[in-house]
């Protein structure tokens, strides 16, 4: 099948993909309510799609049972139960060789974590999704499982209330769940991810993710954050090991790889979609950053993950 665009699963369409059981939808989903908690078997093939795709929302996936592979941005993760996966808006992912996979999926747009009462964005709640987290799979020890399951139960009960369910209550439980998961994560990664410097770097990474197509100046990102260019450069280098310029280029390369792997766009079309004025310069840029040409990457990734052209 020829694909000109990477398939997008949109939050507003979630209710259209609910499985029908005994003639009735397995789950009632209000497309105007900015949060969904569902189970894999309630969502037809959409929940465990073997086709590379992306979302316009965030996902927290809890794997209760089963095995297989989860491919996220060209990295293969062997499914281990119990574990959590965190999928960011715009990430490309798909599943392979899954067997008896059971679990829950929590879906929400970015706006879900903004309290309408205070208009305060709880940036720390998106920590699990930002690109500083280089391990989108988090295995859960048996000793931690009961309290996490209890939180999921509370979220599910509130979400399934016939009337009077509260978005604020769900948001509060999600906040607690993410804090608990971050504590588990931090036990495995010796670094304080909540200090001021890390917060600033996360802000930079999020801005790059949102604006890399049009903004490639380190100075402009520093201005957007309200700090000096040198402070941004030093902080990003210290925490990530990369310069701000490298991170901007990494975002461009990731997007180029996604388009090469999941569309039939030509190299020139991809170059123009990424705002490169010259296709040959894009090809040189890609090879300089990755060590191979765009076409060679496409050939290798097709073979590796058995994509269809």
Per-position DSSP letters for the chain, written without gaps between them: ---SS--EE-GGGGGGGPPEETTEESS---TTSS-EEEEGGGSTTTTT-SS-BEESSEEEEEEEEEEEEEEETTEEEE--SSEEEEE-TT--EEEEEEEEEEEEEEEE-GGGGB-TTT--B-GGGGGGGSTT----EEE--TTTHHHHHHHHHHHHHHHT-SS---HHHHHHHHHHHHHHHHHHHHHHS-S-TTSHHHHHHHHHHHHHHHHTTT---HHHHHHHHTS-HHHHHHHHHHHHSS-HHHHHHHHHHHHHHHHHHH----HHHHHHHTT-S-HHHHHHHHHHHHSS-HHHHHHHHHHHHT---
Same domain, 121 and 167: yes
Position 70 confidence tier, pLDDT thresholds 50, 70, 90:
very high
pLDDT digits (tens, 9 = 90+) for 27-62: 888 888 889 999 998 887 778 888 888 888 889 999
Query: Can you give the pLDDT at residue 76?
Result: 87
Same domain, 101 and 220: no
Q: Give 162 or 117, the one with higher predicted confidence.
A: 162
Same domain, 129 and 150: yes
Q: Quick check: is 3 in a domain?
A: no
Domain assignment of residue 31, given as a range:
8-188
Same domain, 172 and 254: no
Query: Can you give the pLDDT at residue 290?
Result: 92
Q: Quick check: is 88 in a domain?
A: yes
Query: Can you give the pLDDT at residue 305?
Result: 62
Query: Can you give the pLDDT at residue 197?
Result: 67
Same domain, 172 and 203: no
CATH of residue 209: 1.10.10.60
Same domain, 142 and 73: yes
Same domain, 273 and 203: yes
Same domain, 100 and 249: no
Which of 188, 218, 243 delimits the end of a domain?
188
Q: Quick check: is 15 in a domain?
A: yes
What is the rounded distance in angstroms from the CA atom of residue 71 to the CA atom of residue 67? 13
Query: Can you give the pLDDT at residue 309?
Result: 44
Query: Can you give the pLDDT at residue 119?
Result: 41
Q: Quick check: is 133 in a domain?
A: yes
Same domain, 239 and 112: no
Same domain, 175 and 246: no
Domain count, the chain: 2
Query: Can you give the pLDDT at residue 12?
Result: 87
CATH of residue 115: 2.60.120.280
pLDDT digits (tens, 9 = 90+) for 195-204: 566 678 878 9
Query: Can you give the pLDDT at residue 114?
Result: 58
Same domain, 86 and 213: no
What is the rounded distance in angstroms from the CA atom of residue 237 to the CA atom of residue 176? 31
Query: Can you give the pLDDT at residue 5?
Result: 63
Q: Quick check: is 2 in a domain?
A: no
Q: Quick check: is 1 in a domain?
A: no
Which of 127, 158, 188 delimits the end of a domain?
188
Average pLDDT, the chain: 83
Percent of the chain whose predicted confidence (pLDDT) is above 70: 85
Position 156 confidence tier, pLDDT thresholds 50, 70, 90:
very high
Which of 167, 188, 209 delimits the end of a domain?
188
Same domain, 51 and 182: yes
Max mean pLDDT range (54-63, 68-77, 151-160, 181-190): 151-160
Query: Can you give the pLDDT at residue 272?
Result: 95
Query: Can you give the pLDDT at residue 126?
Result: 56
pLDDT digits (tens, 9 = 90+) for 97-130: 889 899 999 998 877 865 444 444 455 555 555 5
Query: Can you give the pLDDT at residue 286?
Result: 96
Average pLDDT (253-265) is: 86
């Amino acid at each position: 099948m020829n694909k000109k665009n990477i398939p997008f699963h949109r939050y507003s369409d979630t209710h259209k993909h609910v499985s029908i059981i005994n003639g009735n939808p397995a789950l009632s989903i209000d497309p105007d309510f900015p949060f969904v908690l569902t189970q894999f078997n309630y969502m037809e093939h959409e929940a465990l799609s073997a086709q590379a795709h992306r979302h316009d929302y965030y996902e927290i996936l809890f794997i209760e049972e089963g095995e297989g592979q989860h491919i996220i941005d060209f990295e293969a993760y062997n499914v281990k139960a119990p574990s959590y996966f965190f999928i960011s808006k715009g990430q490309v992912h798909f599943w392979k060789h899954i067997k008896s996979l059971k679990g829950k999926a929590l879906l929400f747009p970015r706006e879900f974590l903004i309290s309408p009462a205070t208009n305060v964005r709880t940036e720390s709640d998106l920590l699990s999704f930002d690109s500083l987290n280089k391990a989108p799979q988090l295995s859960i020890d048996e000793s931690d499982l009961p309290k996490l399951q209890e939180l999921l139960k509370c979220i599910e009960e509130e979400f399934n209330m016939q009337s009077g369910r509260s978005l604020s209550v769900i948001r509060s439980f999600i906040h607690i769940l993410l804090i608990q998961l971050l504590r588990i994560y931090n036990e495995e990664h010796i670094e304080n991810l909540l200090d001021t410097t890390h917060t600033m770097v996360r802000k930079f990474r999020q801005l790059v993710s949102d604006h890399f197509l049009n903004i490639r100046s380190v100075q402009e990102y520093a201005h957007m954050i309200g700090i000096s260019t040198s402070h941004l450069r030093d902080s990003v280098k210290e925490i990530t090991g990369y310069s701000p310029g490298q991170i901007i280029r990494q975002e461009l390369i990731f997007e180029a790889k996604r388009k090469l792997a999941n569309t039939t766009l030509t190299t020139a079309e991809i170059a123009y979609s990424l705002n490169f004025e010259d296709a040959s310069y894009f090809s040189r840029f890609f090879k300089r950053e990755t060590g191979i040409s765009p076409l060679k990457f496409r050939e290798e990734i097709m073979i590796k993950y058995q994509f269809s052209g």
